[in-house]
Amino acid sequence: MIYLTFYETWLITIEYLGRYHGKYHWEDISGKISEKRYKQVMKMKVFCQKHKALIWMCLYLIVYLLVFQTLENRRTECTVYASGIDKIIPFCKYFVIPYFSWFLYVPLTVLFLDMQEDQEEGHRLNWFLVIGMTAFLIISAVYPNGIMLRPRTLSGGDVFTRMIRLLYLADTSTNVLPSIHVYNSIGVMIALWKNEKVRKSKVVTGILMLIGVSIIMSTMLIKQHSIIDVVAAMVLAAFVYPLCYGPLAEKIQKRERVFQYRYY
């Protein structure tokens, strides 16, 4: 792990910007920090440049969580809604397992695609997630919403019941439209389905798709989301898909390649 002081960061930034404009060189600051230290930092910089999609995604996630927490903690009236279908859907505590698996399913897929040599698929998935999650924050800010589908009492001390109690305490039943659990799962399923490495094995592909479907079902079966939230997530995904995987996305990719060829 490389720890940088503010002074070292400032020196290296000045040197890097100066070299870009042809004004400064390493020799100008070589006496201020050691060359070994400089090389270590340059290795970190190369890593960040190589995997900048992953870095930007991590930074966006921090911002997203801060904004989401702010929306969750605000005191305002919200629209409570439900569907008649929600009353028909049974409560099944066992589906808390696929619900929690989402916290590995999405990040590991993003990591897998962003760390590949060809990062185009990672870029597409990142944009798909960012657009949908940003839309969710805007909807939550403009239209505070919530549901009241959770069971009044949860009896039992088994691991599944305890996990649901923990989930209910950690995550409120407000700001649930559209379901990000569903939306991100759809995005991951699309990205994995289009990945050649994954599709080489029908068994692996089938398992990954099954996990995605079970996550979507779990949002309703543990009463964390209404079917309205699920449908809204599917509709949002249908609108965002052409932007990230359709003809428009192809045009953007071609322009980026031309720009990189000309200027880099």
Query: Sorting pLDDT into bands at 50, 70 and 90, what band is 81?
Result: confident
Q: Do 95 and 203 share a domain, yes or no?
A: yes
End-to-end CA separation in angstroms for the chain = 29
Q: Is the pLDDT confidence value at 36 over 70?
A: no
* Residue 198, domain member (yes or no): yes
| Burial track 74-86 (b if 16+ CB lie within 10 A, e otherwise) | eeeebeeeeeeeb
Kindly state the percentage of the chain with pLDDT values over 70. 75
* Host domain of residue 30: 6-43
Q: Do 239 and 150 share a domain, yes or no?
A: yes
User: How high is the pLDDT of residue 159?
Assistant: 92
* Residue 182, domain member (yes or no): yes
* Residue 59, domain member (yes or no): no
User: How high is the pLDDT of residue 76?
Assistant: 80
Distance between CA atoms of residues 59 and 66, nearest Å:
11
Q: What is the mean pLDDT of residues 56-77?
A: 89
* Residue 61, domain member (yes or no): no
Q: Do 158 and 230 share a domain, yes or no?
A: yes
Q: Is the pLDDT confidence value at 207 over 80?
A: yes
Q: Do 169 and 242 share a domain, yes or no?
A: yes
Q: What is the mean pLDDT of residues 200-218?
A: 94
* Structural contact between residues 34 and 100, judged by C-beta atoms closer than 8 angstroms: no
User: How high is the pLDDT of residue 260?
Assistant: 42
Q: Do 30 and 110 share a domain, yes or no?
A: no
For the segment 90-105, what is each residue's pLDDT rounded down to a tens digit? 999 999 999 999 999 9
For the segment 156-191, what is each residue's pLDDT rounded down to a tens digit? 788 999 999 999 988 888 899 999 999 999 999 999
User: How high is the pLDDT of residue 122?
Assistant: 85
Give the number of domains in the chain: 2
Q: Do 241 and 124 share a domain, yes or no?
A: yes
Q: Do 173 and 218 share a domain, yes or no?
A: yes
Distance between CA atoms of residues 179 and 174, nearest Å:
11
Query: Sorting pLDDT into bands at 50, 70 and 90, what band is 21?
Result: very low
* Residue 69, domain member (yes or no): no
Q: Do 106 and 25 share a domain, yes or no?
A: no
User: How high is the pLDDT of residue 107?
Assistant: 94
Q: What is the mean pLDDT of residues 145-162?
A: 87
Q: Is the pLDDT confidence value at 229 over 70?
A: yes
Q: Do 26 and 136 share a domain, yes or no?
A: no
* Residue 176, domain member (yes or no): yes
* Residue 66, domain member (yes or no): no
Q: Do 108 and 33 share a domain, yes or no?
A: no
Q: Do 25 and 86 share a domain, yes or no?
A: no
Q: Do 16 and 90 share a domain, yes or no?
A: no
Return left, alpha or beta for 105; rule: phi > 0 is left, psi -120 to 50 is alpha, else beta.
alpha
* Residue 60, domain member (yes or no): no
Query: Sorting pLDDT into bands at 50, 70 and 90, what band is 255?
Result: low
Kindly state the percentage of the chain with pLDDT values over 90. 49
Q: What is the mean pLDDT of residues 227-252?
A: 86
DSSP string, 128-150: HHHHHHHHHHHHHHHS-EE---S
- 81-85, 106-110, 146-150: which has the highest mean pLDDT? 106-110
User: How high is the pLDDT of residue 55?
Assistant: 82
